[in-house]
């Protein structure tokens, strides 16, 4: 026990958090302390051999008292907790995105107080200056392109501010912070419907729904010419661990440099599915910046590595998992829940997902009901370990 390291993962019930915990549990001598505001039944993956802190009273890291308990005697902190989702959520729920500053501030304070050795913060490519992303044929974004600051409104500003918090906590208090700017992470065991899903999962779901329904059309947000890069989850987890073990002090891109248009992303999903669909473009939908790609010069120089999973291989794995989930949902008698899955939406001013607010009972208040994703809690998480 004396040589055991405690690694804290917040946002543990989320997509990236679940995969990261799986990786950390395979390291000898590492004990994982996992926390998420969601009830344990709503975590994407649950590991019985981790120390799980779930729900509004035990896993809400907006609460400084919870952060203190989590950081006690910890060696490393991986701060992934945030209220976020795809572009539909980000553009319509800027206040909720900004409130994630509470999770980052309180976890930094508690980690510094507890003498935590290293602190990882998951930032985002949304911190980059929007004026450098006006053309689909974008020049890949280097780390210096975050300044002068003009990030994504709401979500991007919060991430950029929290990056600065990490820097100043390191400079003033000595805590070793590490910051990665994620570029569109995707893969199995993630959000795939309900409004918080990102483009790869949404496109896979729409193709699956079109194939299952016989309505061979697909709705695409924007004109399909906007460009992005997408990083497979295995590369993301490996990059986090490499960065955490490194001496890199400044924020660094963690993303694939394989840039595609959204139309090309649809091409790949169609190819995996063995189908061609008629495309209908929703030009008034949230679409984000015109172009974004990751300049990996710095990560290759510092770590001798960059994400390398091809989009074709990653989408194939993601498609297969979502297809299984889609048909399982229908088989469970939830056909009503999968109707309309060929489209995506998220309401303006949505509320936080359960445990919604600071008290467990607040989830039953009318003011917290709006915007909870359809089907929330409808299927059990994957359990592993133990």
Active site residues: 155
Cα(206)–Cα(223) distance, integer angstroms: 16
C-beta of residue 20 within 8 angstroms of C-beta of residue 240: yes
Q: State CA 155 to chain mean position distance.
A: 12
Burial of 380 (0-12, 13-18, 19+ CB in 10 A): exposed
Q: For residue 149, what are the contacts with CB-CB under 8 A and spacing of at least 6? A: 127, 129, 160
Integer angstrom CA distances of residue 114 from 143, 178, 184 = 30, 17, 32
């Amino acid at each position: 026990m004396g040589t055991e390291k405690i690694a804290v993962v917040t946002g543990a019930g989320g997509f990236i958090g679940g995969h990261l915990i799986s990786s950390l549990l395979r390291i000898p001598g590492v004990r994982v302390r996992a926390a998420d505001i969601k009830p344990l039944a709503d975590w994407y993956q649950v590991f019985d051999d981790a120390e799980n802190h779930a729900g509004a009273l035990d896993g809400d890291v907006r609460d400084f008292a919870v952060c203190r308990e989590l950081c006690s005697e910890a060696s490393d902190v991986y701060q992934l907790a945030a209220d976020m989702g795809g572009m539909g959520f980000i553009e319509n729920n800027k206040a909720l995105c900004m409130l994630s500053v509470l999770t980052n501030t309180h976890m930094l304070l508690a980690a510094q107080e507890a003498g935590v050795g290293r602190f990882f913060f998951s930032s985002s490519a949304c911190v980059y200056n929007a004026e450098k992303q006006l053309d689909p044929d974008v020049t890949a974004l280097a780390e210096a392109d975050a300044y002068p600051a003009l990030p994504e409104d709401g979500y991007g500003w919060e991430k950029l501010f929290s990056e600065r918090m990490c820097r100043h906590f390191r400079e003033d208090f000595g805590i070793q912070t590490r910051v990665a700017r994620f570029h569109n992470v995707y893969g199995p065991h993630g959000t795939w419907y309900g409004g918080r899903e990102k483009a790869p999962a949404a496109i896979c779901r729409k193709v699956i729904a079109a194939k299952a329904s016989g309505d061979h059309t697909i709705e695409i947000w924007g004109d399909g010419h906007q460009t992005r890069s997408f990083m497979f989850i295995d590369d993301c987890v490996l990059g986090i661990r490499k960065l955490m073990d490194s001496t890199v002090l400044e924020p660094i891109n963690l993303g694939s440099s394989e840039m595609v248009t959204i139309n090309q992303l649809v091409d790949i999903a169609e190819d995996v599915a063995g189908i061609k669909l008629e495309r209908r473009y929703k030009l008034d939908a949230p679409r984000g910046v015109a172009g974004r790609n990751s300049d990996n010069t710095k990560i290759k120089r510092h770590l001798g590595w960059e994400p390398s999973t091809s989009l074709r291989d990653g989408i194939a794995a993601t498609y297969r998992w979502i297809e299984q989930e889609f048909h399982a949902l229908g088989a469970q008698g939830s056909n009503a829940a999968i109707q309309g899955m060929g489209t995506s939406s998220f309401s303006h001013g949505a509320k936080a997902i359960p445990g919604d607010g600071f008290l467990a009972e607040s989830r039953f208040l009318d003011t917290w009901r709006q915007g909870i994703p359809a089907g929330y809690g409808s299927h059990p998480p994957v359990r592993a370990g133990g």
